Amino acid sequence: MIVNFNVGLLGHVDSGKTTLAKALSTISSTAAFDKNPQSKERGITLDLGFSAVLLETPGSQNDQFEQLQLTFVDCPGHASLIRTIIGGAQIIDMMLLVIDAQKGIQTQTAECIVIGGILQRKLVVVINKIDLLDQQQSSVLRKLESKLRKTLLAAGFIEDIPIFHVSAQSRQGIQELLDGMKNEIHIPTRQAEKPLVMYVDHCFSIRGQGTVCTGTIVQGQVKVNDFVELPAIREQRKVKSLQMFKRPVQSAIMGDRVGVCVTQFSAKQLERGVLCQPGYLQAVFAAVILFKHIKYYKFPVKSKSKFHVSVGHDTVMARITLFRCLTNQSQFNINQEYEYIDEIEPPQTESNQNECSIFTLLEFERPVFAISNAILIASKLDLDVHSNCCRLAFWGHMQWYTSSANYATEQLTLWKVFKNKQKQGTVQRLVNAQQIIVQNLFKKDNNREPFIGKRVQLSTGEIGVIESTFGQTSKVKIMFSESLKDETIKMLRGGATLNLI
């Protein structure tokens, strides 16, 4: 039995990722090593490349499977291809962060670190091109390692990340890297019993055979003669055959890179996308995530603005709305009350990231297909690619979604999201240490009943709630969970008037 483990090669453009993939691999796919004519012409990786190597089973796991296949996902490094990098990172089990020994940490290196932190992938760092260093090689590598460890620690990775020094061009250190990777591998649980979901990254037709969708199974399994659905074009097809790196197989499970040959359809209809069990995935027109700010994004995040949102291999524009949970619950509930937020400033410190539960409604310009609890990553890809700014803004797991194209009128109108408007009144009298009567907070003809239970604040700082209306005019009774400050009570008994906001 062969078990597959997906390893992503990520890093800044021209750090030697493709050369490293070639040095590590013994098996290549039709999409490996920049075979795309445009990649050859421009001298950079433009799309995901796939290759593999078969290794002996690590000693600690030799009772579970006979051979281990490492499938290398060679991700492009150019800034303009960040959406392809995000898609590639979502199908891997381990991330090889490749760094040019001479140039160190660069802009896309940092963005790759952020992506790895979001997806919580196991990380191995590879410092490449050590053959180009001068005679002070050990000193340069020592300083670079120290800087790397500080950066990774700040990004939330563990302190003892393994770091290897290699020259992919001369193959120096390659065997040590392979051995080190074997020691770091722990095969994750493969959810073969769940419905099939496969992220498709390439699609092409073979005359007389059918259409081949190549990709990675992220959930479930597929077998020859199964029926699968292509939800983007709303069609079902029968699986005629399966191949893993040109080797025919009868089935494939979560984690496997596989080519699925189905009955004919135009490959142009599905260059990238999703293949799944029939009826499993529905079109998602809007979704809600728990907002998780990326601390390296240095711009405000504003409601009604648009971001590029990546899910799987798909990236689509979405209009966002921010709102805050008053009870600080981290699970979205459509029956709960939320406060609308106009803008979130860039995070200033690590400690203020999760002071309250903030949610984001994402309204997609076109529907996407995603599994429940999928990770959505929002970016500002229209920022200057030559700047040193992080374009990844925020992310979160999908907690709510709708498959209705008319969600705005059918569902959003029922949500309890309010804008915080300030009203100001005055304290008329003190009832007791926890109750006061307030006047002028409302006009005489206002209906006060909808405001019962709302929070209010005295100008001296104490926070209470409107307990009930009082009298026939505009007065209300305010209740405080704790007694008012002695100074506040003294002021009110002395006849001083306090403002209520």
Reported as a single tens digit per residue, the pLDDT across 48-104 is 888 999 887 765 555 566 688 899 998 875 555 677 778 778 888 899 999 999 999
- Please give the backbone phi and psi of residue 145, each rounded to the nearest 5 degrees, phi first: -60, -45
CATH number 2.30.40.10 is the correct assignment for the domain at 197-276: no
Residue 500 vs residue 91, higher pLDDT: 91
pLDDT at 501: 65
Q: Model confidence over 114-132: pLDDT tens digits?
A: 988 888 888 999 999 999 9
* pLDDT for 34 beyond 50: no
Alpha-carbon distance of 7 to 14, in angstroms, equals 19
Alpha-carbon distance of 220 to 191, in angstroms, equals 6
What architecture (CATH level 2) is domain 283-418? Beta Barrel (2.40)
Confidence of residue 369 (pLDDT cuts 50, 70, 90): very high
Residue 317 vs residue 443, higher pLDDT: 317
What architecture (CATH level 2) is domain 425-500? Beta Barrel (2.40)
Alpha-carbon distance of 120 to 380, in angstroms, equals 22
* Six token digits for residue 374: 């999928």
Q: Do 425-500 and 283-418 fall under one CATH topology?
A: yes
491 DSSP 8-state letter: H
* pLDDT for 43 beyond 80: no
Q: 40: part of which helix (H) or strand (E)? A: helix 37-42
Displacement of CA 205 from its chain's centroid (Å): 32
pLDDT at 62: 52
Average pLDDT of the segment spanning 249-262 = 94
pLDDT at 38: 43
> Residue 455, exposed/middle/buried by CB under 10 A (0-12, 13-18, 19+)?
exposed
The 3-state secondary structure of 7-27 reads EEEECCCCCCHHHHHHHHCCE
Partnered with residue 263 across adjacent β-strands are none
* Domain limits, the chain: 2-184, 197-276, 283-418, 425-500
Alpha-carbon distance of 218 to 196, in angstroms, equals 8
Q: Are strands 306-311 and 343-344 parallel, antiparallel or unpaired?
A: unpaired
Q: Which CATH superfamily is domain 2-184 in?
A: P-loop containing nucleotide triphosphate hydrolases (3.40.50.300)
Asked if residues 259 and 242 have their Cβ atoms less than 8 Å apart, the reply is yes
Q: Model confidence over 291-337: pLDDT tens digits?
A: 999 988 999 999 999 999 999 888 999 999 999 998 888 999 999 98
* Six token digits for residue 483: 């007694």
Q: Of all residues in the chain, what percent carry a pLDDT higher than 70? A: 91
